[in-house]
Structure 1
Amino acid sequence: MTAQETITLVVVCNNHFAVLLAALLKSLDVTHKSAETITLYIVDDGLSATNRAKLTRCIDSPQISLVWIKMQDAIPRNMVIPMDNSSFPISAYIRLFAPYFVDSKVKKIIYLDADMILLEDISVLWNVDLQGHVLAAAVDRTEKVSNPWGGIKNYKELGLNPEAKYFNSGLLVIDMPLWREMNLTNKVLACINNNKAYAGFPDQYGLNVVLAEQWLELDPLWNCVPMSTVEKPFLIHFIGRKPIFKMYEHNPAYKDLFFHYLNQTEWRGYRPRLESSRMLRKAYNLLNKKATSFLRFIRVRD
């Protein structure tokens, strides 16, 4: 690696999660100490002009540049988002399309969920050798595909090894040319479409089925969840209830770290919201996904 290499990151965000992304951006800004420049693609899922401007101002480092992409422009015209039954937003599928909207000259990207903060320089992750794998990820807290409350519920019907490890799709290191060569986006979408009854975590389900035992395992410190008690994580992934809600009930030290970064942004002094806003958002996601998928289906047919 040379000092001139550029690290390419991808994240997607809406107004609901803008406050979460602010903490992630500031943590990236503070923890990146090595010489590489960073290009961060932010897929804009309806962000207000105010939130977009505030997010831009989270970055002080001249080494980090932002590239904004409208969500509708990030989804290839010939690809239809599955009408799964989960309450995850349409934007959850964006990680599958990144190899098609990021500059084609880029060979590798890191995808990050917006509900994360970095406590280690992203260059450490960037320099992980993929060893010929198309994807690197950290093991999910469900650990293996046969986990009864997570995992892949129809792993037997799919012929998967019950002991195969199951990864979390919130952080992905992707070999872009190999991903396109393997036609992974279409394979994962087809898998979700064919197994909707089992795809509770749709993109994660599809990726784990299609890439079962074919991915590189990262150090678990790159995916410490709020239920964890690890003292020095590389990255905290706020799955479940986020620290922006009053009902957050997990590791208080992790919540403190989140607000440490958030309070260095224009969201300083933010007060956690009631749980009702979270439930309303889930209902909206479900309805919006079905409507959008139907309209895209009509668009493709035309």
Structure 2
Amino acid sequence: MSQNPCFFFAADQNYFPYACLAARRVLDVSGPIKGFILQMGVSTEDLEVGDRLLGSAVSILDVSKFMEARNFDPGHLTLATYIRLFADELAEFKPYDHIVYADSDVLFNRSIVDLANTQLLAPLLAAHDEQCYFDTKYRRRLPMKPGAPKFNAGVLVFNMPMVRREGLLQRTRELASQRVDNMDQGALNVAFEDRWQTMHPYWNVMTNFTSQVRFDKAFARHFTRGKPWSNRPIGVELEALAIYRHLAKDTPWAGHFARQARFVLKRFTRKLDAITGFLTNDEKRRRRSLFDAEQVSAVFAEHADRLMMAVRYPERVSGIESKKTTTSPR
């Protein structure tokens, strides 16, 4: 169990409203825990709204000068995207042993304290990226070992004493500056290879490929495709939109959530994967048609309960075997 945990979001002007709403949701469903929003370039008007919405429970910190002083080249991404990679250098985080990071498009349904207090035997706690079970191209793009699993970096728990001792975030920054594929997320996966523990999959239920898991079962819903505030919020459940509307109702951001979710279309097109995969000779679609999110989640939930490190050869774990990949589990 963590001795002193905290959580944080990071955002620029574009994502700051959604980071504030996500943080407000964390406070509403969680026990006492300190929170932070690390921001760059946010307007005075939005900062005032954020302060009013979150109060003293969440500190909103301007890290613009801190990040600019690092002379880090963000490439085609925004500099704010890389804020989480500097958690080991931020003075505000020195008192905390477990630090939970979440993307601004993550909505929590369960107390983040439960996640922060997970027993950690490794530097990082992360959820297997379930897309990898039917799309293994990342193994050709990233300098990782054969059969290496990949995690999604939208929800992470850093075991800071171990991270600092092993210099893992420093290594991540070096890899990101070298333009490792997928930049920040790819760099994290390479730097933390063999050093991450399996997170219960319900803490990061992504809407692109885990729509089979209902919203009310997710500990945290990650809107990795359509966003609740987008023009076409495909994959966003009506329950989620209702929560966002409630969170934003007394703010200038309420109008961002006026549209209705369109999740039926996505579910329908998923049913066509087997047919379109056969007609187009698309291996990814064929394999995706066999994917059972509930079954895979049950496997990794057991791994999380047993405090297991990430398991290699995810095709074997998910019941989908690749002819090109060795299938013996680690």
Q: 2:191 aligns with which of 198, 202, 210?
A: 210
Instruction: Give secondary structure in 2 for the equivalent of 1:136.
Output: strand
Instruction: Give secondary structure in 2 for the equivalent of 1:270.
Output: helix
Task: Indicate how the Cα distance of structure 1 residues 202 and 152 shifts in structure 2: closer, same or farther if over 3 A, else same.
Answer: farther
Q: Report the counterpart of residue 168 of structure 1 in structure 2.
A: 152
Instruction: Give secondary structure in 2 for the equivalent of 1:245.
Output: coil
Q: Report the counterpart of residue 230 of structure 1 in structure 2.
A: 213
Instruction: Give secondary structure in 2 for the equivalent of 1:153.
Output: helix
Match of 2:231, as an amino acid?
A: K
Q: 2:112 aligns with which of 118, 122, 125?
A: 122
Q: Report the counterpart of residue 301 of structure 2 in structure 1.
A: none
- Give, in angstroms, the shift of residue 41 of structure 1: 1.9
- Aligned counterparts of 2:42 and 2:84: Cα–Cα separation in 1: 18
1:31 corresponds to 2:29: yes
- Give, in angstroms, the shift of residue 205 of structure 1: 0.2
Instruction: Give secondary structure in 1 for the equivalent of 2:129.
Output: strand
After TM superposition, the structure 1 stretch with the greater mean CA deviation from structure 2, 253-262 or 100-109, is 253-262
Q: Give the TM-score normalised by the residue count of structure 1.
A: 0.74
Q: Report the counterpart of residue 16 of structure 1 in structure 2.
A: 14
Q: Report the counterpart of residue 75 of structure 1 in structure 2.
A: 67
* 1:62-94 CA distance string (max 9 Å, x none): xx62223222344384x442453x4x3211111
- Aligned counterparts of 1:70 and 1:271: Cα–Cα separation in 2: 24
- Give, in angstroms, the shift of residue 202 of structure 1: 1.1
Would the aligned equivalents of 1:226 and 1:239 in 2 still touch at CA under 8 Å? yes
Instruction: Give secondary structure in 1 for the equivalent of 2:8.
Output: strand
- Aligned counterparts of 1:69 and 1:98: Cα–Cα separation in 2: 13
Would the aligned equivalents of 2:123 and 2:196 in 1 still touch at CA under 8 Å? yes
Q: Report the counterpart of residue 66 of structure 1 in structure 2.
A: 58
Would the aligned equivalents of 1:23 and 1:261 in 2 still touch at CA under 8 Å? no
- Give, in angstroms, the shift of residue 188 of structure 1: 1.3
Q: Report the counterpart of residue 90 of structure 1 in structure 2.
A: 79
Q: RMSD of the TM alignment (CA)?
A: 2.7
Match of 1:105, as an amino acid?
A: P
Spell out the pairing of 1:284-299 with structure 2 (5 A cutoff): none
Task: Indicate how the Cα distance of structure 1 residues 10 and 76 shifts in structure 2: closer, same or farther if over 3 A, else same.
Answer: farther
After TM superposition, the structure 1 stretch with the greater mean CA deviation from structure 2, 46-55 or 238-247, is 238-247
- Aligned counterparts of 2:133 and 2:17: Cα–Cα separation in 1: 32
Task: Indicate how the Cα distance of structure 1 residues 152 and 80 shifts in structure 2: closer, same or farther if over 3 A, else same.
Answer: farther
Task: Indicate how the Cα distance of structure 1 residues 257 and 42 shifts in structure 2: closer, same or farther if over 3 A, else same.
Answer: same
- Aligned counterparts of 1:41 and 1:271: Cα–Cα separation in 2: 23
* 1:116-173 CA distance string (max 9 Å, x none): 1110011110111112x0010111232369722xx34334xx35122x2211111110
Q: Report the counterpart of residue 154 of structure 1 in structure 2.
A: 141
Match of 1:8, as an amino acid?
A: C
- Aligned counterparts of 2:4 and 2:124: Cα–Cα separation in 1: 19
Q: Percent identity?
A: 20
* 1:29-63 CA distance string (max 9 Å, x none): 2101x3xx322121121111111111122236xxx
- Aligned counterparts of 2:249 and 2:116: Cα–Cα separation in 1: 25
Task: Indicate how the Cα distance of structure 1 residues 141 and 29 shifts in structure 2: closer, same or farther if over 3 A, else same.
Answer: same
Unpaired segments ≥5 residues, structure 2: 260-330
Unpaired segments ≥5 residues, structure 1: 275-302
Instruction: Give secondary structure in 1 for the equivalent of 2:53.
Output: coil
Would the aligned equivalents of 2:126 and 2:197 in 1 still touch at CA under 8 Å? yes
1:253 corresponds to 2:242: no
Would the aligned equivalents of 1:8 and 1:108 in 2 still touch at CA under 8 Å? yes
Instruction: Give secondary structure in 1 for the equivalent of 2:104.
Output: coil
Aligned length: 254
Would the aligned equivalents of 2:125 and 2:156 in 1 still touch at CA under 8 Å? yes
- Aligned counterparts of 2:101 and 2:129: Cα–Cα separation in 1: 16
After TM superposition, the structure 1 stretch with the greater mean CA deviation from structure 2, 139-148 or 223-232, is 139-148
Would the aligned equivalents of 2:29 and 2:111 in 1 still touch at CA under 8 Å? yes
Q: Give the TM-score normalised by the residue count of structure 2.
A: 0.69
Would the aligned equivalents of 1:118 and 1:235 in 2 still touch at CA under 8 Å? yes
After TM superposition, the structure 1 stretch with the greater mean CA deviation from structure 2, 213-222 or 255-264, is 255-264
Match of 1:126, as an amino acid?
A: A
- Aligned counterparts of 1:143 and 1:254: Cα–Cα separation in 2: 28
Q: Report the counterpart of residue 137 of structure 1 in structure 2.
A: 126
- Identify the structure with the greater helix proportion: 2
1:100 corresponds to 2:92: no
- Aligned counterparts of 2:146 and 2:24: Cα–Cα separation in 1: 40
Q: Which has the larger radius of gyration?
A: 2
